[in-house]
Chain A
Amino acid sequence: MIKVRNISKKYKNRYSLKNINLNIEGIYGLIGPNGAGKTTLMRVIAGLIKVDEGEVLFRNSYDSSIKSLRESIAYLPQDFNIYPRVTIEECLNHIAIVKGLSKSFDRKRKVQEVLEIVNLVEHKYKKIKDLSGGMRKRVGIAQMFLTEPKILIIDEPTNGLDISERFRFRNLIRSISKDRTVIITSHIAEDVEFLCNKIGILKNGEILKEGTSEEIANYAKGMVWEITAKPNEISNILHHYTVLNIEKQPFDNLKLRIFSKSQPKYAKPVEPKLIDGYLSILEGDGVFDVT
């Protein structure tokens, strides 16, 4: 359990984080637009940057300055792309040395162990530069487990991955999260919905809302509608409403999912998803309603 209490951080007299309060446990997702302060907040939690006000409490005791605690936090930055000329095994072996695994035998065993966790054993002689984005992310996850981390911080885990890699990587994160606190940032609501048991929405350095996926979704209750239309009606609907999704139906019909404060003609209300709640919170009610 990590408690973030009244954290504020200023850069050049501008708040990049303002009075942040969070209760983090399980897999926690931070979502927000670019520049919202997600990476800054992750760095604060990891003890990598100092704050102007507030504190981060780990299991009810303020000890974020203790070295062992910092070493129990593993961080995966957004673009993990180091040591392109060496093999996966050499890369992990080197990171293990840097992280303090000095005994050769222990290090080799540990590298083998983490390669198994991320299912890269058969690729260990491949050079980093020859890996796909997803495999590189898996190497990134592997390096996190070279120590025995209690807290995993993963910045934009699925950013830049193709669809199949994205699903594989999401499953990997779920499988490694057992008995650990995992904090992820993402701007893909679907990933956060799949992975996280609690979500915080960050904008302009402030937490707007915190809750489960269902709780966040509920903020859009009464604002999400479904309407069936013909293809020639689409442009008119797009002109008047924010269309979240279009699905093909039999007989040349299209089912449209619409975000609107007021009920569009012939539309029926539907249960909101996380993305609906997120949009509703982020931009304010009805902001997408262009009528």
Chain B
Amino acid sequence: MLLKFQIKNMGSLFYLPLLFCAFYIIFLLLIPAELEGILFLILQIAVLPFSFWWPVFNIYDLYQNNVEEIFATYIGKNLLFDYLRFTSLFLILILFLFFITNIKVGQPFPLHLVFLLIGQTFIISSFVLLITIYLKSIEIASMSAILYVFSEAVTTGEIFPWPHIFIFSLDSHNLNVLWIQMIIYLFISAIFLFASIKYAKTIERNII
């Protein structure tokens, strides 16, 4: 019932990640199976970044309609559950797309990549959620995420001096360490989430 309310409240915005998933499936049908590296790359940079979309737009009213005074006292537990609900839902989508990509390619991807996708989903969604809550701006947070993904895609994760979470070449990467990477990402995501809850409960920001 809660999810039904949240979907109704988000309106058409809820369907944007689903739309990109649909685009990916169409792309999957059109591109030759031999280009499996490109398929996995597109999954990472064109679909996976939308992991932030639902958790962030779920709190749209909090900051865009200035009602944080009403919810600040109660938001902690709800924010955590809403985040986990939407991120789990998104993760199911991503793993489904990964699964059908495997079918298309014929030769299965290493299972380690599942760890990578899980870690990426959590780190992106939790980071953008934190930025949204801290700056009280969905626009700034979303644009930061889009700029990061775009610059990483253009530079293939090499030029800018910030952490690179996408893998651009499956051959040159040691896939055996991906589960460690996932653990690190999940740990950092937990910190981001904890900070998000803390900031959501307070309406003062020293920088604003």
Q: A49-B204, A50-B204, A90-B5 are in contact. Are A82 and B74 (CB under 8 A)?
A: no
Q: Are B203 and A48 in contact (CB under 8 A)?
A: yes
* Bound complex: CA A85 to CA B65 (Å): 13
Q: Are B2 and A97 in contact (CB under 8 A)?
A: yes
| Nearest A residue to B61, CB-CB | A82
Question: Which one of B8, B71, B73 contacts A85 once the chains associate, using CB atoms below 8 Å?
Answer: B8
Inter-chain contacts of A76 with B (CB < 8 A): 70
* Bound complex: CA A251 to CA B74 (Å): 63
Q: Does A185 contact B (CB under 8 A)?
A: no
Q: Does A269 contact B (CB under 8 A)?
A: no
Give the total of B residues in contact with A, Cβ under 8 Å.
Answer: 20
* Bound complex: CA A199 to CA B70 (Å): 24
Q: Are A98 and B71 in contact (CB under 8 A)?
A: yes
Question: Which one of B2, B70, B73, B202 contacts A95 once the chains associate, using CB atoms below 8 Å?
Answer: B70
CB contact list, A3-61 vs B, under 8 A:
43, 46, 48-50
Q: Does A75 contact B (CB under 8 A)?
A: yes
Q: Are B70 and A83 in contact (CB under 8 A)?
A: no
Inter-chain contacts of B2 with A (CB < 8 A): 94, 97
Q: Are B69 and A82 in contact (CB under 8 A)?
A: no
Q: Are A82 and B67 in contact (CB under 8 A)?
A: yes
* Bound complex: CA A100 to CA B9 (Å): 20
Q: Are A49 and B8 in contact (CB under 8 A)?
A: no
Q: When A and B form their complex, which 4 residue pairs have the shortest distance between CB atoms, in order from nearest?
A: A82-B61, A75-B69, A49-B204, A81-B65
New contact pairs (8) apart from A43-B69, A48-B72, A77-B67, CB-CB < 8 Å? A49-B204, A75-B70, A79-B65, A80-B67, A85-B11, A90-B5, A98-B75, A143-B70
What residues of chain A have their CB less than 8 Å away from a CB belonging to chain B?
43, 46, 48-50, 67, 70-71, 75-83, 85-86, 90, 93-95, 97-100, 143
